[in-house]
C-alpha cells in the first residue's frame, strides 16, 4: 500500500510541476513580449500587432494559474478573525464548507470554461489570428487543478510546496 501511495504522490507532484512550469513560462513569455513591444515601439517606431494581444492572453493565464497556486499554498485571502473564536469542531465544519465551496468553484470553472472554449472556437483574435478560445482554455485547466488540490487537502494531503518556516530572524 505504501508503494501505491508513493506512486500516487509522484504522479500528482509531476502534474503539479508541469502546472507550475506552465505558470512560469507564462510569466517569462509575458515579460519578454512586453519588453519587445516597448523596444520596438520606442526605438524602431513599429510595434508588432500581435504583441499586446498575446501579452493580454498570457496575463489572463498567469492570473488564473497563479490564483490556483495560491490555493495550493494556502496563500489565498482567509478571514479568520471570526472563525478563530469558534470551538475547534465548528472551525473544522467551516473548513469543510470552504472546501466544498472550492470544489464547487473548480467545477464551475471546468463547466463554464469548457462552454466558453466551445462557443469561442470559431472566432479569431485580430492581432494573432488565434482562436478566441485560447483566452478561455485556462478556465477548465485551472478548475481541474483547483479540484485536484482541494480533493488532496480534503484527504489530509499537504499540497504546499513552498511553506514558510515559522522561524523568526
Helix (H) or strand (E) holding 14: helix 2-42
Count of CB atoms situated within 10 Å of the CB of 116: 17
Q: Which positions ≥6 away from 150 have C-beta within 8 Å?
A: 71, 99, 102, 103, 106
pTM of the model: 0.81
Provide the CB-side half-sphere exposure for 35 (13 A, CA): 6
Cα 113 to Cα 58, 97, 110, 128, 145, distances in angstroms: 16, 23, 5, 21, 13
Provide the CB-side half-sphere exposure for 80 (13 A, CA): 11
The burial of 57, by beta-carbon neighbours within 10 Å (0-12 exposed, 13-18 middle, 19 or more buried), is given as buried
Q: What is the pLDDT of residue 169?
A: 40
In tens digits, the chain (169 residues) has pLDDT values of 466 677 877 887 888 888 889 999 999 999 999 999 999 988 888 888 888 899 999 999 999 999 898 888 877 666 677 778 888 898 889 888 989 999 999 999 999 999 999 999 899 988 888 899 999 999 999 999 999 999 988 988 888 877 665 444 4
Q: What is the pLDDT of residue 111?
A: 97
DSSP states of 116-128 as a string?
HHHHHTT-B-TTT
The burial of 107, by beta-carbon neighbours within 10 Å (0-12 exposed, 13-18 middle, 19 or more buried), is given as middle
Question: 158 by DSSP, 3-state: which?
Answer: coil
Amino acid at each position: 500500500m505504501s508503494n501505491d501511495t508513493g506512486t500516487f504522490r509522484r504522479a500528482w507532484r509531476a502534474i503539479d510541476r508541469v502546472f507550475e512550469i506552465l505558470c512560469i513560462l507564462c510569466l517569462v513569455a509575458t515579460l519578454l513580449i512586453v519588453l519587445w513591444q516597448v523596444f520596438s515601439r520606442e526605438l524602431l517606431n513599429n510595434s508588432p500587432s500581435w504583441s499586446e494581444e498575446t501579452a493580454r492572453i498570457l496575463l489572463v493565464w498567469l492570473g488564473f494559474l497563479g490564483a490556483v497556486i495560491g490555493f495550493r499554498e494556502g496563500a489565498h485571502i482567509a478571514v479568520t478573525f471570526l472563525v478563530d473564536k469558534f470551538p475547534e469542531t465548528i472551525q473544522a465544519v467551516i473548513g469543510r464548507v470552504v472546501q466544498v465551496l472550492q470544489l464547487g468553484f473548480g467545477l464551475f470553472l471546468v463547466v463554464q470554461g469548457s462552454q466558453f472554449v466551445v462557443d469561442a472556437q470559431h472566432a479569431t483574435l485580430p492581432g494573432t489570428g488565434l482562436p478566441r478560445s485560447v483566452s478561455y482554455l485556462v478556465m477548465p485547466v485551472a478548475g481541474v487543478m483547483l479540484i485536484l488540490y482541494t480533493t488532496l487537502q480534503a484527504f489530509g494531503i499537504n499540497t504546499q510546496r513552498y511553506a514558510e518556516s515559522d522561524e523568526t530572524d
